[in-house]
Amino acid sequence: MATVAAKMRRALLLLKPLDVYPPRTATSSKVLRYLDDRCRVHKETINHCTSIIEKRFPQWQLVMRNDLSQSIRHFDLVITVGGDGTLLKASHFIDDSVPVLGVNSDPTNSLEVEELSQEFDATRSTGYLCAATRANFEQVLDEVLAGKKTPTELSRVSLKINGAKVPTFALNDILMAHPCPASVSRFSFRIKKECGETSHLINCRSSGLRVSTATGSTAAMQSAGGIPMHISMPDLQYMVREPIMPRELDIPLMHGFIKPEDRMVISWYSQEGMVYIDGSHVYYKIKHGDEAEVASDAPVLKVFLPSSLLA
């Protein structure tokens, strides 16, 4: 156990900034107090985690997630404090060599949500991928350092556009769509198998195409009617969003799975297009005639997960 702790000497503490909270323009004093309380709790969690990290790591560095712009290297552990958004941001700068431990700085209180549901949305951070909170951070970190916790390897989506690799890997999903959500997207795709076989070409007019990992299958994919997958599954799941009058032959392939050894090839036929990675902040422009290739051959992300996700 001492050997594991000795190997983890350098930690990066990545924080959700405080300015992500809404500006103080609400007219309700209860809403204002609620927003102030969210900032206070987040600050207290940061201070608590920092005081523990100072004692456990000879070398550590604090970075706000908005300031992250280069690959994360020369660290033995990344600790994110915020929610899933902060962990997702970290994942875009990490390969498969550095594990991540997420701390949910302000977990949702279900009783509070119910009590305030008729006044405003009191939902806090989801923290689906976060193994720790302020309450148990010290215990969880010590278990990591003692080798009692093992990170789970999560599949990610790799993307090529016109044969060029996109440097960002998606932990949750990618969405290919027109930049205007009211516009129709026109594209075609087929699944190419490792053995050389391919599905027939599916031509689509729809609001876009989403491809998710198992991690992302319980997010937007599930909301759209997709199938939740166990987080350890290496397959990708895809869904054509709101297809317009698909051929009867194509209907079974509007939603399906991409095996780890296979890939999806998409041809884009709208004048404009975007490929969004894990939400709206990371995106790549595409245009008529461009070809994209999606697969699950990206480096895995090593994450210390909550035990509830491993059952």
Catalytic residue annotation:
84
| The token pair that represents 275 in the structure block | 């490929």
The whole-angstrom separation of Cα 120 and Cα 106 is 17
Residue 100 is inside which H or E element, if any?
Answer: strand 100-104
The whole-angstrom separation of Cα 249 and Cα 243 is 13
Which 3 state secondary structure label does DSSP give 114? helix
Looking at residue 235, its amino acid is: D
The whole-angstrom separation of Cα 296 and Cα 196 is 17
Looking at residue 70, its amino acid is: Q
Which 3 state secondary structure label does DSSP give 36? helix
The whole-angstrom separation of Cα 85 and Cα 65 is 10
Looking at residue 38, its amino acid is: R
